Amino acid sequence: MKHYIRFPRAEGTHSRQAHADLPAGTFEREMSKDGFFGPAAHFHHKHAPTGWARFTGALNPHAYDLNRLPPAGNSPWDATLFMHNGDTRIRYWRAERAMDHLVRNQDGDELLFIHEGAGDLFCDWGHLSYRDGDYIVVPRGGMWRIEPSAPTTMLLIECTEGTFTLPEKGLVGAHAIFDPAMLDVPAMDERFRAQQTDDPWSIVVKRIGALSTIDYPFNPLDAVGWHGDLCVVRLNVRDIRPLMSHRFHLPPSAHTTFVGRNFIVCTFVPRPIESDPGALKVPFYHNNDDYDEVIFYHRGDFFSRDNIKPGMVTFHPCGFTHGPHPKAFKAGAAHARKETDEYAVMIDARYPLRVAELPDGVENHDYVDSWKPKPA
């Protein structure tokens, strides 16, 4: 338990409730500790905090179109690494055909997010089908391979030297957001038994970033059974029932799906927009003073951002002031939208992320200007 220097005070013209009943004509900006959990100050500004005339230096935000990455090879180890730090490595991979080898990650748990496609995953625990919108958690050390039935595009999020866990659900209880009974597990079914042949197979193992290959004269996915409480699990974003309040815009941390070591993975799914006349309808302006923020756009019309399409990623480094784009802000103020239809995966990292070298054309260098009001 942290003993913050914490004692609420107020000054000047201000609302009494964060994200609601803002003084007329003001823009709320939140400054906070611990990614919206710690002490916070809410400022009421006369101008939008994103109304800069010019932005120079390295704190600028980034937007990437991963659809423009060239195809990689047919192994998850060929996936394009685009962001990383000591706690996570985030890669993007398009698999067109069945893997001809097994992989094993000894650096950390792996979270697969299936953006497009469908197919079958074979692993130590058996056979599991997958489709778009699936999260699949593979515990560190688990062997696996996929056989796509449709070309498959996925994000791979490694929890380096750590373990993915579920978030504390506190006041709302264990069955909120998604019931743990909703987690699917592989089966030792006919498909699994049918692949247990004496054909030679290789396992390509990654440890400390280096690959080792172990050749077997048979398929080592040959278990006839298992027991325990460590397993590959699958959760589809369609099965997430988001927390929301009709009177209060909840912070993104309310949408936490998995917790890694020094980072969290959140899922934005369709939800009604706040209906209370005084409640903020769009994300509040903030700097996220402790976390780097990465959002991968999966499906739908992303409400608070203009010109963002599925397969794109935005990166807002810690300390970069952001909030809704002007069009979304106006739509929120006018109650023009009653619900969102967006699906997105957010990765918030406590320690700075580095962006890998990416081919020309993947980054949109004008993104920093996207908050400028468009001429009418």
Which stretches of the chain bind Fe ion, using CB under 5 A?
A: 288, 293
Q: How far is the CB of 283 from Fe ion (least distance, A)?
A: 7
Q: C-beta of 321: minimal distance to Fe ion in Å? A: 9
CB of 249 to Fe ion, least distance (A): 12
| Identity of the residue, 109 or 293, whose beta carbon is nearer to Fe ion in the bound complex | 293
Between 164 and 291, whose beta carbon lies closer to Fe ion?
291
Read off the amino acid at residue 3.
Answer: H
The pair of three-digit structure tokens given for residue 2, joined into one six-digit string: 């942290």
Closest to Fe ion by CB, 51 or 180: 51
Minimum CB distance to Fe ion, residue 113 (Å): 19
Rg (CA), the chain: 22
What is the DSSP secondary-structure string of 48-62? -TT--S---STT--E
Based on CB atoms, which residue is closest to Fe ion, 104 or 322? 322
User: Of the candidates 191, 164, 172, which has an alpha carbon nearest to the alpha carbon of residue 88?
Assistant: 164
Q: Are 320 and 60 in contact (CB under 8 A)?
A: yes
Q: Which is nearer to Fe ion, 62 or 140 (CB)?
A: 62
- The gap from C-alpha 184 to its chain's centroid, in whole angstroms, comes to 20
The Cα 162–Cα 355 span in angstroms is 21
- Assess contact for 318 and 288: CB atoms under 8 A: yes
CB nearer Fe ion, residue 153 or residue 288: 288
Minimum CB distance to Fe ion smaller for 130 or for 291: 291
Give the shortest CB-316-to-Fe ion separation in angstroms. Answer: 6
Go through 287-304 and write b for each residue having 16 or more CB atoms within 10 A of its CB, e for each that does not.
bbebbbbbbbbbbeebbb
Nearer to Fe ion, 158 or 293 (CB): 293
Nearest-CB residue for Fe ion: 293
Which stretches does DSSP call E strand in 23-165?
A: 27-32, 40-45, 62-65, 80-84, 88-95, 102-105, 108-123, 126-131, 134-138, 143-160
Minimal distance, residue 288 CB to Fe ion, in Å: 5
- Distances, alpha carbon 246 to alpha carbons 51, 121, 249, 275, 277, in Å: 29, 40, 8, 5, 10
Q: CB 300 → Fe ion: shortest distance, Å?
A: 18
| Neighbouring C-beta atoms of residue 176, cutoff 10 Å | 13
User: Using CA of residue 75, residue 77, residue 81, residue 84, what is the dihedral sign?
Assistant: positive
Q: Least distance to Fe ion from the beta carbon of 67, Å? A: 23
